[in-house]
Amino acid sequence: MAGRSALINVMHKASQSASRRMMRDFGEVENLQVSRKGAADFVSQADITAERTLREELEKARPGYGFIMEEGGTVAGAHADSPVWIIDPIDGTTNFLHGIPHFAISLAVMEKGRLLAGTIFDPARNEFFYAEAGKGAFLNDRRMRVSGRRAMPESLFATGIPFLGRGTDETDTQFLAELKTIMQASSGVRRMGAASLDLAWVAAGRYEGYWERGLNIWDIAAGVILVREAGGFVSDFAARDKALESGDVVAANAPMHVPFLKLLRSVR
């Protein structure tokens, strides 16, 4: 069993505090499904409430840190080089809205462009994923490692399906071609609807890889450090360490990252 650092304890406490109200709200979602209005606003308020709780807890524990938040935008820290919290209060809000218990609270902290730590809390399953730079990755205090599978036909992948028709015809065609290619080469592709959990599940060895484009830094920051500290690789589609900047992510275990990336890049 791993001993958690003070930083991880702060992140865990904040996530737990936000999750208590969140799960009460989740229990009310089913009552809203009969109405065409109200449910989306209800979930938006749940997002805002969770983010407010997270910010209050984190500010109290680490005054002077900056924030990058999905709902609240960017807040400068006490100094130009102060560490920054990166917050997604409910990743998987569409699942939340439909009463599907697959969503998470994603927190990361970055200093001078370097990820220091990340946590992803799945309150429906009570799974707390966490990692610190150079200290490994853990799930509920047990060490996590990416899967050891080396063969594409044995490998399971995850992705996020874009809103087809809202992009260009070219990007829609590109994604559908990628999906077909990976489906034909692998044991399957899953689309669960929460990027943070997709990355956490790569780190935990449940998936061999994950790809998606057009994400925000709060969607992926915690997951990126989790995968890397669990022994996996994360890049953009050009094999560069630019996923956080571009929002384009290819993550996989060590044996599969190169062949997975080559398959995706072969689709033109």
Q: How far apart are CA 86 and CA 69, in angstroms?
A: 6
Report helix angle 39-61 to 6-32, nearest 10. 170
Structural domains in the chain, CATH included, are: 6-144 (3.30.540.10), 152-265 (3.40.190.80)
Spacing of C-alpha 23 from chain mean position: 19
Which of 38-52, 76-90, 240-254 bottoms out in mean pLDDT, i.e. has the lowest?
A: 38-52
Residue-level pLDDT at 1: 46
At 44 the pLDDT is: 78
Strand 84-91 vs strand 114-122: parallel, antiparallel, or unpaired? unpaired
Between 223 and 170, the more confident residue is 223
Mean pLDDT of 68-89: 92
pLDDT at 42 over 50: yes
Residue 169 has pLDDT above 90, yes or no: no
> At 244, is the pLDDT very low, low, confident or very high (cuts 50, 70, 90)?
very high
pLDDT of residue 34: 43
- Residue 35 burial by Cβ neighbours in a 10 Å radius (0-12, 13-18, 19+): exposed
